[in-house]
Amino acid sequence: MDYKQKYQELEKEAALRISEYNALDKELAQEVNGFFDKSLMERKNNAYKKWQEAQLNLQEFISLYVKNVNQSSK
């Protein structure tokens, strides 16, 4: 497994998800006349959950990589 490539893919996924979340957050903030778009809020929450999942995947990958490196060096 190419760890550097896998890490970059996971990092890119996490960056994409936070970008998506931030765009929806900005869109929600621009709602006018006090109109609250429930579906937009749901999309924002879903984007945040996807970002959290991407962050967890990245953290798990880092943990596995460190564990593998430590085992290899023994």
pLDDT digits (tens, 9 = 90+) for 6-64: 888 988 988 888 888 888 888 777 765 556 667 878 888 888 899 899 889 889 888 88
Residue 5 pLDDT greater than 80, yes or no = yes
pLDDT for position 64: 86
* DSSP 3-state of 17: helix
pLDDT for position 72: 82
Name the strand (E) or helix (H) holding 54: helix 38-72
CB atoms within 10 A of CB 36: 8
pLDDT for position 22: 86
Residue 31, sorted as left (phi over 0), alpha (psi -120 to 50) or beta, turns out to be beta
Query: Is the pTM for the entire model greater than 0.95?
Result: no
- Encoded tokens for 7: 């890490």
